Structure 1
């Protein structure tokens, strides 16, 4: 029996490694290609390891001021930061309201959140474009951030609702017995326990906003107002003078992915902490 269990664990581990390898391989190939010349990339024999013989010319070409990477990077940072902060504030308040308070229309509000998530984004492009154009906010950080906030809030509020509902209200009541106000009990007891939920929600919202392309292509039509996905799409188009510079495209893709990876590495420890479980056990 023990041998059979051990064999089943071994098979499961092998399958897990194979699935992980399939998932990681495109990322590895992107990084590998970013250090290769066009000749090596287009060769019939693949180059599995870029060094020795690799080059940094692709990154140098991408970071050249004339490519517009710097302005697109600044635009993405401003849009993402503004959208995430505003989204978390409103989604957090909505999650607390539907989890902690009973009011008329609460169930209808929750159903409305789900229904909004079901609507295809493309169905609202024309209405969103006309609204932002009427406000004279096309090709601006504020204009695209307003739409991103409205797009991300439903999922973020739904996600945070589960975290808020998972924290026993008894903790707040105990703090109120000790002399805290309702607001003070929430901020001192409940809010710190919501840190993993806020971090997890911010990661999902960040990925959605940072990588968004379709809405940005509608609302940001000037080259000076491009976000990184728009810049990368334009950068990968074949020029009249030659084919697509795949090495530079891969280098640009790596640079676009790095900020998200850095953010996740910073917050991943907080996401895995069982703060709520520890508080309840204590």
Structure 2
């Protein structure tokens, strides 16, 4: 009996008190501190958005929104410029996102699955374009968009965003496409599928995480971009949200900046980003396994 008990697997033995390693405990504590330091600015922004300017400027630190009020959000929402800026940002962002994913996906497939003359030169050009400073292109971009009569338009600023985001997105998707073995498509073709059917039913679902990751990058770049929009969008009726937010930050001669409204506006600007992440989070996980099952 003693021999059998000694040979019993450790997993079947009665669980004892688990020993906590000091190194793991220290690493967990550091991780919690880093997470709190990362989340504190976001909490401070939301907390300040519920306070009045008098309370924000009284010189004391208020970590809890005591006597919270929705007046700042009501003021931002009631301003006649927030909704047009929101519509402008949504239109520019989703147009940039859609066109970028289509062009970058096709380009990534071409350079990963096919061998053609100029392939290495194209890949090198994608890398070199990322090295160009954006500020050095402002004059050329302004004259280009102006010559097309697309200043202060969704299409004009979207063209510039797409040109800036596509190169890096191609490079990101190239790694995802190259990571999917082409033997999966060949095995599906042996089972009777055509090349197009094999790609759509087998390869494309496995590329969903790469498309989502690239889409997140393109979305954030277009949503938060400031300098190009400042150059191209000069009309008050056609401003994206980052340009519109500047009107709250700039102080005028008659009154100081209302920081409560600034924080409320910043919180509202962050809402579409949060919604987008919540929407694509499940797709990123499901895309990892949906293409691995035949049927």
List alignment gaps of at least 5 residues for structure 2: 1-17
TM-score under structure 2 length normalisation: 0.90
Worse-matched range after superposition: 223-232 or 118-127: 118-127
Q: Residue 30 of structure 1: which of 45, 50, 71 is its match?
A: 45
Superposed, 1:177-188 pairs within 5 Å as 177-188=190-201
Displaced runs of 4 or more, over 3 A = none
Structure 1 residue 143 corresponds to structure 2 residue 156 = yes
Give the equivalent residue in structure 2 for 1:237.
250
Q: Structure 1, residues 188-212: CA drift from partner, whole Å, max 9, x if none?
A: 2111111111111111110110000
TM-score between the two structures when normalised by the length of structure 1: 0.94
Which residue does 2:7 correspond to in 1?
none
> For the structure 1 residues 144 and 278, does the alpha-carbon distance in structure 2 shift closer, same or farther, using more than 3 Å as the test?
closer
Q: In structure 2, the residue corresponding to 1:63 is in which secondary structure?
A: helix
Match of 2:76 in 1: 62
Structure 2 Cα separation of the partners of residues 273 and 181 of structure 1: 25
- Decide whether the 8 Å contact of 1:228 with 1:256 is kept in 2: yes
Q: CA deviation at 1:231?
A: 0.1
Indicate the structure with greater helix content.
1
Larger-gyration structure (1/2): 2
Distance across 2 between alignment mates of 1:25 and 1:249: 17
The partner residue of 1:228 within 213, 231, 241 is 241
Task: Output the CA distance in 2 between the equivalents of 1:11 and 1:278.
Answer: 40
User: Equivalent of 1:166, from 173, 179, 192?
Assistant: 179
Structure 1 residue runs of 5 or longer lacking an equivalent are: none
> How many angstroms does 1:271 deviate by?
2.5
Task: Tell me the distance in 1 between the aligned counterparts of 2:128 and 2:206.
Answer: 29
1:65 Cα shift? 3.7
Q: Is the 8 A contact 1:40 1:46 kept in 2?
A: no
